Structure 1
Amino acid sequence: MAFVLAAAAAAFLVQPVCSWDRPGVDRYRGTPAAALAHYRDISEAERATLARRIDAGIPDDKVEISRTSVTGHYTYAGTISDMHFDKTRLCRTVTRSQWQPAHRETAAVYCVGEACVLVPEVCGNVSRVRRIVTSGGSAPGTTGGAPPLPAQPPESPPQPAPVYPAVPSGSEALPPWAAPVAPLAPPPRLGYPGPGREVGMPVPLAPIPEPSTWAMLLGGLALVAARAGRRRGK
């Protein structure tokens, strides 16, 4: 009788197909070690290594999950399996057919050998994903190691610091480091009744006329006076 009850409970907790159309709604609430214990094809030592790395947050890859694909530095199958929900429910296959085409979820991937564990950031639902093996041992799409680091551009040789000559005495030339960083503001217009006409601001005096200007002025006045006298004599 106890065996029948245990089998019934196992059948209730382990479901063949589940929907993952609402990520984050039914989060996994157990520990990584408890979830990994259901993956019996992975050795106990490898499961312990994966559990430590999941706890420490040291993944092999960061991936982006869409409705039909799992994309990262390596090549993965688009299906997700053995996903854990809440504390006790395990789904052998999960579907995400109701996702919008633009919907994306990020996840971390942890691998030991050919076995890879997927942990979405939105819910922490520990699950499994298959990494596709291609040629080579360190290029993206293989089972070896972490993604290769991007190539660094060659370093250019250090350039000597520029040396500017000192300003000669009495010269107006300035070296570049002494040039003003911004142009000076133009002086205010005196006829503008705004800023620059404040009380106390010095106003420039009118220039003194030249002697030739005085002579022309006096000559003009004498001519006007002579014409006026002629009109009175008539």
Structure 2
Amino acid sequence: MSTLVASAVVATAMLSNCSWNHPGRNPYRGTVSEAVSRYIDIPAPVRTRLIAKIESGQADDTAAIMRDTIAGKYDYSPQITDMHFGQRTVCGAVTRDEWAATRREMGKVYCVDNHCLIVPKICGNISRVHRVAGEGGGGGIGGGAAPATVAVPRAAAPGWVRAASPDEVAAADSMAEMATTPMTQLSGFASPFGTASYAPDLTSRNPSTDTGLAQPGPAPSPVPEPATFGMLGAGLAVVYGVIRRRARREAAQGA
């Protein structure tokens, strides 16, 4: 499986290479804001504008994603990077080398200050794409001059890291989601103190304020140890013996 680095801060699974040979298998389920905010090399003001454009549907281009090219009103590098899968998984690069040469998947392109994001219609996997020419260079989706073709690395190319399969991507996403899932009480255990919820970082075990344990009040009395009961019984026996001896002595004096 490709190298996985789970961030403890944002709980995001980062994979170096993933397969996108089966579009739609792992659609992105997070929000636009969450996805764009992960592109930390893009200036924050640019990210804010990109989020607004995507959420309002103000696309700069509609492009056809093919096996070897991305064609639209502009020319684009054929490589798609930083693609989002599932709830919180990001793949540095994706391969589509098993696509048929005639296959096309449409996507909306949003650009701000030379930073472009592409959102395929089939899956909504927010990704990054690089524009390489000005308007009109691509000749449009349906015809005209063909966009410049840039060789896409194949699985057999030197230095190519094996792409994670869709199942591996799904597993990585599940691991990242588990890292942020709050602990829940075991269903078979009925606590006399009610249900307590715990911090999602799995390090704090302090009950939250919605439980009886967190409310101020007198501390419960400690449960006596067995030795305590033994000492109490011995003390009572001594007192009882003293009382009996005193009673006998007083009876003897009265006689």
Equivalent residue letter for 2:56: A
Deviation at 1:60, TM superposition (A): 0.3
Superposition misfits of 4+ residues, deviation over 4 angstroms: 5-12
Deviation at 1:140, TM superposition (A): 2.5
Say whether 1:131 aligns with 2:131.
yes
For structure 1, the residue ranges without an aligned partner over 5 or more in a row are 148-234
Q: Matches of 2:16 and 2:98 in 1, distance apart?
A: 18
Q: Matches of 1:59 and 1:12 in 2, distance apart?
A: 27
Gap change, CA 1:27 and 1:7, over 3 Å in 2 = closer
Partner-residue secondary structure (3-state), 1:35: helix
Tell me, yes or no, if the aligned pair for 1:117 and 1:128 is still in contact at 8 Å.
yes
Residue of structure 2 equivalent to 1:17: 17
Residue of structure 2 equivalent to 1:33: 33
Q: Matches of 2:56 and 2:94 in 1, distance apart?
A: 26
Q: Matches of 2:15 and 2:131 in 1, distance apart?
A: 24
Q: Matches of 1:34 and 1:19 in 2, distance apart?
A: 22
TM-score, normalised relative to structure 1: 0.53
Tell me, yes or no, if the aligned pair for 1:105 and 1:121 is still in contact at 8 Å.
yes
Q: Matches of 1:106 and 1:22 in 2, distance apart?
A: 14
Partner-residue secondary structure (3-state), 2:125: coil
Equivalent residue letter for 1:120: P
Partner deviation per Cα, 1:111-135 (whole Å, 9 max, x = no partner): 001110000000000000000035x
Say whether 1:105 aligns with 2:82.
no
Equivalent residue letter for 1:109: V
Q: Matches of 2:11 and 2:102 in 1, distance apart?
A: 35
Gap change, CA 1:55 and 1:7, over 3 Å in 2 = closer
Residue of structure 1 equivalent to 2:136: 140
Deviation at 1:11, TM superposition (A): 9.7
Equivalent residue letter for 1:140: G
Partner deviation per Cα, 1:91-129 (whole Å, 9 max, x = no partner): 000000111111110000000011100000000000000
Deviation at 1:49, TM superposition (A): 1.0
- Higher gyration radius (CA): 1
Q: Which has the higher contact order (CA 8 A, sep 6+)?
A: 2
CA RMSD of aligned residues (A): 2.4
Equivalent residue letter for 2:61: D
Residue of structure 1 equivalent to 2:166: none
Tell me, yes or no, if the aligned pair for 1:28 and 1:86 is still in contact at 8 Å.
yes
Residue of structure 2 equivalent to 1:115: 115
Gap change, CA 1:21 and 1:46, over 3 Å in 2 = same
| More moved, 61-70 vs 44-53 | 44-53
Pairing of 1:185-224 with structure 2 (within 5 A): none
Tell me, yes or no, if the aligned pair for 2:12 and 2:88 is still in contact at 8 Å.
no
Tell me, yes or no, if the aligned pair for 2:66 and 2:104 is still in contact at 8 Å.
yes
Residue of structure 1 equivalent to 2:154: none
Partner deviation per Cα, 1:170-204 (whole Å, 9 max, x = no partner): xxxxxxxxxxxxxxxxxxxxxxxxxxxxxxxxxxx
Say whether 1:44 aligns with 2:40.
no
Residue of structure 1 equivalent to 2:64: 64
Q: Matches of 1:38 and 1:128 in 2, distance apart?
A: 11
Equivalent residue letter for 2:18: C
Q: Matches of 2:6 and 2:100 in 1, distance apart?
A: 39
Equivalent residue letter for 1:64: A
TM-score, normalised relative to structure 2: 0.49
> Identity of aligned pairs, percent?
40
Equivalent residue letter for 1:96: R
